[in-house]
Structure 1
Amino acid sequence: MPDPTKVFKIARLSRTLVIVPQGATMNFQYTDVHLESNELYRIIDEPQLKNVLIDLGAVEYIDSIIISSLLRVLTKSRQLGGTGVFCCASDPVREVLGCIQIGRLWPLFESRDEALAEVESPEADE
């Protein structure tokens, strides 16, 4: 069962920050969303981290505040020369992402393995 107080679960891989949103903003205190979003923004500054993988497998719905938080981190990663990807989106989440045309900037993969192959491959650093 997900930690009801965590907005995002994270993992640090060799070059990639993995972010797993745990639900919509309405499920959390606004201050928690704000503080955790800012923490993600700081984490991507760690020297070994370059890329961002957003795993959407834990959510059936994603709102504009969570999307905005994720886009801040993805944009910063891109500014630092990194790559960003999404994976594991449910059909309703895919629909939301399609409406805002996320795929034009950051690809969406079916599985985490496919997404990891994109961001952790040696070619991702070129």
Structure 2
Amino acid sequence: MTNNTKSIELTHQNGITILTPMGDTLSYRDIDVQREGMDINQQLKTAGTQVIIVDMSRSNYFGSLMIGVINSFGQTVKQRNGQMFLCGASDEMQSVLKIMKLESLWPHFPKLADALKVAKAWKADPK
């Protein structure tokens, strides 16, 4: 199942929700990105989603608006004792996440396949 939105693609793979930002928000109006983030958060709440992966591989850099939206997804699932995993962030983006102390909240994996493997294991045995 795929729901293509303007700036973030939402897909499901083996019961795991995958959110893929389609580039930085510079190409989009801020209000549209914020609205889309709120809509996706509502979908996550309604579905009772506990495990998500954010695939950051489609852009080398995300600005503060997109990082804030991504972090809000993690906070939404965390409220349900869930977990968000990140994957595919560029070296530059990993440095930004580290500076913002987000790498300690949301584990990062080099590839989507790596994140899926860990997310499936976490979903089977959440701690």
Q: What TM-score bracket applies, with the shorter chain setting the length? A: 0.7 to 0.9
The separation in 2 between residues aligned to 1:56 and 1:26, in whole angstroms, is 15
Partner of 1:45, secondary structure, is helix
TM-score relative to the length of structure 2: 0.86
What's the CA shift for 1:15?
Answer: 3.8
The separation in 2 between residues aligned to 1:114 and 1:61, in whole angstroms, is 21
Would you identify which runs of 4 or more consecutive aligned residues in structure 1 move more than 4 Å? none
Aligned CA distance change for structure 1 residues 48 and 15 (closer, same or farther; 3 Å): farther
Give percent identity, aligned residues only: 21
TM-score relative to the length of structure 1: 0.86
What's the CA shift for 1:48?
Answer: 5.4
Quote the residue 2:21 is aligned against. Answer: 21
Unaligned runs of 5+ in 2: none
RMSD: 1.7
Q: Is the 8 A contact 1:85 1:119 kept in 2?
A: yes
Quote the residue 2:38 is aligned against. Answer: 38
Q: How many residues align?
A: 122
What's the CA shift for 1:91?
Answer: 1.3
Quote the residue 1:125 is aligned against. Answer: 126
Q: Is 1:108 aligned to residue 111 of structure 2?
A: no
Aligned-partner residue type, residue 52 of structure 1: I
